[in-house]
Amino acid sequence: MSIYNPQSSIAEQFISHDEILATLDYAAAHRGDRELINDILKKAAEARGLTHREAAVLLECSDSDTIERIFSIARDIKQRIYGNRIVMFAPLYLSNHCINGCTYCPYHATNRTIARRKLTQEQIAAEVIALQDMGHKRLALEAGEHPTLAPIEYILESIDTIYSIRHRNGAIRRVNVNIAATTVENYRRLRDAGIGTYILFEETYNREVYNRLHPSGPKSDWAYHTEAMDRAMEGGIDDVGIGALFGLTDYRYDLVGLLMHAEHLEARFGVGPHTISVPRIRPADDIDLTKFPNAVTDDVFRRIVAILRLAVPYTGMIISTRESAECRKQVLDVGVSQISGGSRTSVGGYAEGEQSEGSEQFDISDHRTLDQVVGWLLELGYIPSFCTACYREGRTGDRFMSLAKRGLIGNCCAPNALMTLAEYLEDYASPRVKVEGYKMIDRLQQIIPSDKVRRITEENLKAILEGKRDFRF
């Protein structure tokens, strides 16, 4: 029996199997407890967050009125904290060489059909230029785990290369990193390299299932993998991003585990995850989806996102181009705050296009260009934001959360979003998107609450029209 202790540094104690099972039993027993559910929803509506048990109870609710209340509160919380801003990013795949045996990922070491590739620094520069020409400012760095073909030194050199590239008005202002679990010392090196968020998915929090899905390689060590975020924060990385790959096991189990992980980081370090990602398993080379019968329907997926927004109201939530445009629209409404656009999951996919095919990590469902996604967001009433200001101004970790919980991020985030949108419109947008974007900017800059901030924003927007760049609060 594993003793549940959210303050422990031991994985099996802060992700306690017995506590998860007890939570699921509790949720099933109280799914019809109207008084309890009303109390949970009232707490959620005050943006006070929810415990993993409270969230599990809501996940068990099946009546349409309760589900609609969950969606309604999630919309309200998202609007209060994030407004209508949606942060844009793109993944950049450096290498798909990997020594792990993960049975749901085409990078697994025994796959003999996938095209193996590793980008040189010159090829990385070409990828960055292609991404800059699209308009991207924020990247998520991806690589398979390989001690000789993709060591930490290669990752660090690649980060330096990315930050060094200036092309016309383009610049990658923030590199987030999604690589394998590593040591405290290596996390310090990543911090010193100037990364934004360190991202690592648990895949599944069910240890038994995890062990079965990871039969070989360093990633097969469940405890070492699960404790990675602790080591990252010990290494001085303020912002970490967690996630589960829904569809590997019962989604209820993984949602509870995901929230326990967030609670653990809050309990031990005083700040929870900066982001939570919610990928679903997708078709890929050498992966038989019939072996994964726990697929999550769109309706359940939307409910998971909404409940996460209620449970961790101040945490960013990410969805990728794994999902269709329609699915992304539905979850943007109830919680998601960051999306990718114009993504390629192949190594070299941005500069080489079709020539890079065969090296993809998973199939993409949303194939639209970044400009098409930006235009779509504008049509839906969202502000596509390319802002990276909080990272560069030191508003990370507990400092960001303090501002968020006091409702103060709107004083900088909304104008920063408008200014970075204006940069995109001037440098990259199609004529139609440019017109629609400026309509939104003209409307929203007038309602910035602070007179001083509104005046400075107006001055900066004029300077952007004159060719100046990179203004931020």
The model's pLDDT over 105-118, given as tens digits with 9 standing for 90+, comes to 999 999 999 999 99
Tally of domains in the chain: 3
Same-domain pairing of 413 and 361: no
Model pLDDT for residues 59-98, shown as the tens digit of each residue: 999 999 999 999 999 999 999 999 899 999 999 999 999 9
Identify the pLDDT of residue 355. Answer: 66
Predicted confidence band at 395 (pLDDT cuts at 50, 70, 90)? confident
Predicted confidence band at 409 (pLDDT cuts at 50, 70, 90)? low
Same-domain pairing of 251 and 339: yes
User: By residue range, what is the domain housing residue 127?
Assistant: 83-367
Model pLDDT for residues 305-332, shown as the tens digit of each residue: 999 999 999 999 999 988 999 999 999 9
Same-domain pairing of 158 and 244: yes
In this predicted structure, the answer to whether residue 392 has a pLDDT above a threshold of 80 is: no
Tell me the C-alpha distance between 188 and 128, whole Å.
24
Q: Which residues contact 221 (CB under 8 A, 6 or more apart)?
A: none
Q: Is residue 377 part of a domain?
A: no
Q: Strands (DSSP E) along 96-189, which ranges?
A: 138-143, 174-178
Distances (CA, A) of 324 to 205, 331, 337, 363: 26, 11, 16, 11
Burial class (CB in 10 A: 0-12, 13-18, 19+), 218: middle
Mean model confidence pLDDT for the chain:
94
Predicted confidence band at 407 (pLDDT cuts at 50, 70, 90)? low
Q: What angle do CA 346, 181, 110 make, to 5 degrees?
A: 50
Of the residues 42, 62, 78, the one at which a domain ends: 78
CATH number, domain with residue 279: 3.20.20.70
Same-domain pairing of 57 and 93: no
Same-domain pairing of 165 and 222: yes
Residue reference for tokens 């409910």: 303
In this predicted structure, the answer to whether residue 400 has a pLDDT above a threshold of 80 is: no
Predicted confidence band at 391 (pLDDT cuts at 50, 70, 90)? low
Predicted confidence band at 472 (pLDDT cuts at 50, 70, 90)? confident
Confirm if 412 and 456 have CB atoms less than 8 A apart. Answer: no
In this predicted structure, the answer to whether residue 398 has a pLDDT above a threshold of 90 is: no
Tell me the C-alpha distance between 169 and 463, whole Å.
14
Confirm if 203 and 166 have CB atoms less than 8 A apart. Answer: no
In this predicted structure, the answer to whether residue 127 has a pLDDT above a threshold of 70 is: yes
In this predicted structure, the answer to whether residue 52 has a pLDDT above a threshold of 80 is: yes
Predicted confidence band at 356 (pLDDT cuts at 50, 70, 90)? low
4's tokens: 């549940």
Identify the pLDDT of residue 408. Answer: 62
Confirm if 107 and 114 have CB atoms less than 8 A apart. Answer: yes
Same-domain pairing of 258 and 217: yes
Tell me the C-alpha distance between 295 and 426, whole Å.
42
Model pLDDT for residues 175-195, shown as the tens digit of each residue: 999 999 999 999 999 999 999
Same-domain pairing of 274 and 173: yes
Distance of CA 273 to the CA centre of its chain: 10
Looking at the chain, the whole-number percentage of residues with pLDDT higher than 90 is: 84
Identify the pLDDT of residue 397. Answer: 66
From the list 304, 300, 308, 298, the residue with the least C-alpha distance to 328 is: 298
Q: Is residue 399 part of a domain?
A: no
Of the residues 26, 55, 78, the one at which a domain ends: 78
Same-domain pairing of 130 and 278: yes
Same-domain pairing of 443 and 347: no
Q: Is residue 262 part of a domain?
A: yes
Same-domain pairing of 163 and 291: yes
Identify the pLDDT of residue 394. Answer: 75
Of the residues 347, 367, 387, the one at which a domain ends: 367
Identify the pLDDT of residue 334. Answer: 97
Helix (H, G, I), strand (E, B) or coil at 397: helix
Same-domain pairing of 46 and 97: no
Confirm if 384 and 378 have CB atoms less than 8 A apart. Answer: yes
Identify the pLDDT of residue 403. Answer: 65
- Total-model pTM: 0.94
